[in-house]
A = this chain, B = another copy of it.
């Protein structure tokens, strides 16, 4: 299955509805900031996931669209605040919100989108009991995202970060929202308890795999596909799984030349492209990129196993292909 083509088809189904949720409000500057990231495209994986899961469980895809859109709005709110925190100037090939506007507007637009996300959840055509489950699930999820963001930020100045700490951070910062999309959609579609549980697991494993692969692409991809400069994670001092592995390897082996090459770029905003390239070479030599890729693939396999609770369908096939896409994107 051509998962990108199929995802695009679904994005077309939901995109107009998504943007319609971001029309109402003022002042215009705030609304422009609110629409800036969703307008720029993005993969819109979370609403696609919600749609397909609800469709796979009980052909209730359409009913899950508002919930999926709500999560996409919430996702974009976290991106705005994240880019500001990381001082990332570019997102999806366009200037970040805090750059195009200013820091206060970025903070406020993020807050506003969080509120709008909740307003959109209430558009779900379902029972009040299910609606409450969605609200509760989403609130818990956003709390965990904040925990993950804080961990991620604290890692930048931490002496050491273990792979387990990294995985906990990634689960919270990224995977819980995938998990929320899949679980919420299964709830909306009135899935069995086992389906709801397995869809949650599917989203979680997919999310972790996706993020680790994203980190891999961050050092091996190209700027155009990525929409941001190669190695910006390194310049920002991000402790990705790759970096966590590399630092622990250097600790063990103590190769001074490699260590110097890596530390010249890590957390150095002014690192030259050459220094970044040399740091990436070290990551390759230490086997850190292969190490992270392998872990991503392990999670991807677990995600696929969670799909056994679903009857065979085109949508189940899509969910399986989505896993392959998440960990197989070009690099």
Q: Which A residues are within 8 Å of any B CB, using their own CB? A: 25-27, 29-30, 77-78, 81, 84-85, 103-105, 107-112, 114-116, 118-119, 121-122, 127-129, 131-132, 135-136, 138-143, 145-147, 149-151, 153-154
Cβ-neighbour of A27 out of B85, B127, B154 (below 8 A): B154
- Do A146 and B81 form a contact, CB below 8 Å, given A119-B139, A128-B131, A132-B132? no
Quote the shortest CB–CB distance from A154 to chain B (angstroms).
6
CA distance A223 to B154 in the complex (A): 35
Cβ-neighbour of A111 out of B103, B131, B146 (below 8 A): B146
Main DSSP-derived SS at the A contact region: helix
Contact A115 B27 (CB under 8 A): no
Contact A115 B146 (CB under 8 A): yes
Quote the shortest CB–CB distance from A219 to chain B (angstroms).
23
> What residue in chain B is nearest A120 (Cβ atoms)?
B139
Contact A142 B111 (CB under 8 A): yes
Q: How many copies does the complex hold?
A: 2
Contact B114 A85 (CB under 8 A): no
Q: Which residues of B contact A108 (CB under 8 A)?
A: 81, 85, 146, 149-150, 153
- Do A30 and B146 form a contact, CB below 8 Å, given A131-B132, A132-B122, A139-B118? yes
Q: Which residues of B contact A104 (CB under 8 A)?
A: 85, 153
Quote the shortest CB–CB distance from A130 to chain B (angstroms).
9
Cβ-neighbour of A135 out of B110, B118, B149 (below 8 A): B118
> What residue in chain B is nearest A78 (Cβ atoms)?
B111
- Do A112 and B154 form a contact, CB below 8 Å, given A128-B129, A132-B131? no
CA distance A132 to B138 in the complex (A): 14
Q: Which residues of B contact A127 (CB under 8 A)?
A: 128
CA distance A119 to B111 in the complex (A): 16
Quote the shortest CB–CB distance from A72 to chain B (angstroms).
16
Contact A139 B122 (CB under 8 A): yes
- Do A119 and B147 form a contact, CB below 8 Å, given A128-B129, A128-B131? no
